[in-house]
Amino acid sequence: MYDGTSRPPLFSPARRHWSLRAAAAAVALSAALLTAGCGSSQDTAEDPKTTASSREGFPVTVDNCGVRTTYDSPPSRVVTIHQHPAELMLALGLKDRMVGTAFPDSAVLPELKTDYETIPELAKKEPSFETVLEAEPDLVYGGYGSAFAENEGRSREAFADAGIDTHLNREYCGEKRVTMRDTYDEIRTIGRIFGVSDRADKLVSDLRNRVDKATTAVKGEAEVPVFVYDSGDKAAFTAGGKSLGTELIRLAGGRNVFADLDDVFGDVSWEQVVDRRPEVIAIYDYAGAGSVEQKKEFLLSQPALADVPAVRNERFVVLPLTATLVGIRSAYAVEDLARGLHPESFR
């Protein structure tokens, strides 16, 4: 059963899931951390105005998934693991604070693509602990819980022992159902950590307006039953009631047919899919899970699914995985879903 920490492959039940550096490398890291401090760096120290401005409102203390961190000044060397934290930082104009990214899930938003490509990519998947250390970060920002997988040596404690702060996307704190409020709160928290609360407030306002336009367009329309297909062949791996995807579907004028699944993601039987008769299937698209066309072909080739309305009518909506997570794309996903569920409202 999926543990909510990483992404699964398409046709397998297996789920994606330390050693310290040598003494000489540790000494080098310590020297670098003394230079970087708790957020000041050579990049910002040369501009007294920037330094003075960035320190206003500090120190900032953040409680994140049970880890309490006090930032005396904004972090200056950040590694993001997974794509949605990277896009969030770029949307806040923090490219100059980023020294490494890892694990891109899908194509980057067009307006962020140029900036994203200027940042070194440390790994196609989660990087090793040693690889992250080599980038000499003062903060590691993870998207899925697997960013800080203890069995792979990347626990938050390991980074803390190396003098590096960590932040985990709140979706993977595992406490409750995730909603759009979590998206807005995450943006504001990152804004506070980096001393750019004004930018965060503006971004939240822009995203709220995007969501409001979509929900207004489908107001009064009948709810459309939606099945989320992430992956799987023997069983269907789908979004449960605690996932942000369930709320995105609701805002778009739909109803997740597995909203009663008490988890962010989980496996359900194909018999259950047939019984719940979804009218639309939302396909999650991300690297390493098979193409969208492969997923469609699989669904359309199954005799047991032939009478499911969504399959019979070939009604599919494709969403990048990053658009269904706590990050800036979730507002875009509401509009894409609304157009797919109620196309007549947008003509």
pLDDT tens sequence across 5-15: 444 444 433 33
pLDDT tens sequence across 295-336: 999 999 999 999 999 999 999 999 999 999 999 999 999 999
pLDDT band for position 112 (50/70/90)?
Answer: very high
Cα angle 132, 188, 136; round to 5 = 15
22 has a pLDDT exceeding 90: no
pLDDT band for position 138 (50/70/90)?
Answer: very high
Helix H, strand E, coil C: the string for 243-278 is CHHHHHHHHCCEEECCCCCCCCEEEECHHHHHHHCC
Exposure on the CB side of residue 173, measured as CA atoms within 13 A:
17
- pLDDT recorded at residue 177: 86
The residue with greater pLDDT, 211 or 34, is 211
223 has a pLDDT exceeding 80: yes
CA distances from 211 to 44, 144, 206, 215, 338 (A): 36, 24, 9, 6, 10
Answer yes or no: are the C-beta atoms of 231 and 10 closer than 8 Å.
Answer: yes
40 has a pLDDT exceeding 60: no
- pLDDT recorded at residue 176: 80
140 has a pLDDT exceeding 90: yes
Answer yes or no: are the C-beta atoms of 86 and 80 closer than 8 Å.
Answer: yes
pLDDT band for position 175 (50/70/90)?
Answer: low
The kind and range of the H/E element at 341 are helix 330-341
CA distances from 180 to 72, 116, 146, 327 (A): 29, 25, 22, 9
Domains and CATH numbers, the chain: 23-206 (3.40.50.1980), 221-346 (3.40.50.1980)
Computed over every residue of the chain, the mean pLDDT equals: 86
Distance of alpha carbon 54 from alpha carbon 6, whole angstroms: 34
pTM, rounded to two decimals: 0.82
